[in-house]
Amino acid sequence: MPELPEVETVRAGIAEHVLGFVIESVQVHDARSVRRHLGGATDFEEALSGAFIVDAARRGKYLWLLLADSARGDASAFLALVIHLGMSGQVLIKEPHFEQEKHLKITVNLRTPQNQQLQMRFVDQRIFGGMFLDSLLPTVDGSGTEVAAASSSELGLALIPQAVAHIARDPLDPHFSYDQVRAKMLKTSSGIKRLLLDQSVISGVGNIYADEALWLAKIHYKKPAKTLTAAQTRILLDAVTGVMQEALVAGGTSFDALYVNVNGQSGYFDRSLNAYGQAGKPCSRCRKEDRTSIIVREPFMNRSSYRCPHCQRAPRGI
DNA sequence: AGCTTAACCTGAGAGC
DNA sequence: TGCTCTCAGGTTAAGC
């Protein structure tokens, strides 16, 4: 279940392996994996041929390859190959002779500067993810000012695909604004976890890290966002940032072998989870304080929420 | 307009 | 064994 740390691991892997390569051709094996692309899978295949990969960028759970139609990198001609991993998406870089994966959906045939052939493969069992080509817009910082690219290596920060423009900045973004998140929290009647999962408020957070951050901050998922104090909000957002940074160092969380990084290696952060998926197990914080409480799983938004019934008490009236 | 819910999708595992 | 049911959940369109 890729969240921000997993997507960042994939982005970094792509950046390390395929920058400067040319897309020779593309084969879409399942048209459902090409999303919101006008012209459909055939146009998608044709439009990508001949493009140069100049950067790999990310916001929240969206990542994209910055493409130029010549190696010179004429900024007016940039396009984005947007990738969302959904629930089970993987990006694999392999030599062409490697056996096809069972759920291979899209093959991008690459030629390296050394004139060798490589493939970037998009594999996705549940088909919640996909790819599409998109135009790019200038990004703005917290005050609405356009972000300038001081060098060609910063173009990934200064441009954003049109379809990703509505996604809020994530906690690892240099322009992430605590005040903007806080302002949105005060304007809604929704519970705090609903906001953490709302990608237009704060991006990159999924069910796993939302539960982990709420456990760390000792906050119940249904607590109305506007009732959090400024101090609680700060602790919670610091916890979100913290679990993401930790997971990033560990290479991303993995639970069912559906997620692997760009080289096909699974993450291992799942061993340090405190709440998510821990139903029936004792709360580790309570145990340190010589108290026994058992993590519970509760239905929430057609999925599950995990919490410690002692550390994360239900707000009055819930 | 703000908020909530259904639908998309496949495979693993449980229960009978 | 083989069938049916439930669960996993990111995103968005549709409904209230």
pLDDT in tens, A260-278: 454 444 444 555 899 999 9
- Whether the per-residue pLDDT at A2 is higher than 60: the answer is yes
Q: Which nucleotide in the DNA or RNA is closest to residue A225, CA to C1'?
A: B3
- What nucleotides of chain C have any atom within 7 angstroms of a protein Cβ? 7-12
Q: What six digits make up the tokens of A270?
A: 């799942």
Q: What is the pLDDT of residues A301-311, one digit of tens each?
A: 989 999 999 99
Asked if A67 and A54 count as a contact pair (C-beta separation under 8 A), the reply is yes
Q: What is the pLDDT of residues A152-188, one digit of tens each?
A: 666 777 899 999 999 999 999 999 999 999 999 999 9
Residue–nucleotide distance: A87 CA to C10 C1' (Å)? 7
Strand C interface, protein residues by Cβ within 7 Å: A 1-3, 60-62, 84, 86-87, 126, 128, 163, 197, 199, 206-208, 276, 297, 302-304
Q: What is the pLDDT of residues A18-67, one digit of tens each?
A: 999 999 999 999 999 999 887 889 999 999 999 999 999 999 999 999 99
Would you call A51 helix, strand, or coil by DSSP?
A: coil
Q: Give residues 124-163 of chain A lying near strand B (Cβ < 7 A).
A: 125-128
Q: Which nucleotide in the DNA or RNA is closest to residue A187, CA to C1'?
A: B2
Residue–nucleotide distance: A224 CA to C16 C1' (Å)? 21
CA A262/CA A260 separation, integer angstroms: 7
**Which CA-bearing residue is nearest the C1' of C10?**
A86
Q: Which nucleotide in the DNA or RNA is closest to residue A86, CA to C1'?
A: C10
Residue–nucleotide distance: A8 CA to B15 C1' (Å)? 40
Q: What is the pLDDT of residues A138-149, one digit of tens each?
A: 887 767 778 877
Asked if A252 and A270 count as a contact pair (C-beta separation under 8 A), the reply is no
- What nucleotides of chain B have any atom within 7 angstroms of a protein Cβ? 2-12
Decide: CB of A268 under 7 A of nucleic strand B: no
DSSP letter for each residue of A63-116: EEEEEESSTT--GGG-EEEEEE-TTTEEEEEE-TTSPPPTTEEEEEEEE-TTS-
Cα–Cα nearest to A190, from A226, A220, A235? A226
Residues of A taking part in catalysis: 2-3, 61, 303
Q: Indicate the pLDDT class of residue A250, thresholds 50, 70 and 90.
A: confident
Three-state secondary structure string covering A140-191: ECCCCCECCCCCHHHHHHHEEEHHHCCCCCCCCCCCCCHHHHHHHHHCCCCE
CA A126/CA A222 separation, integer angstroms: 29
pLDDT, position A270 = 54
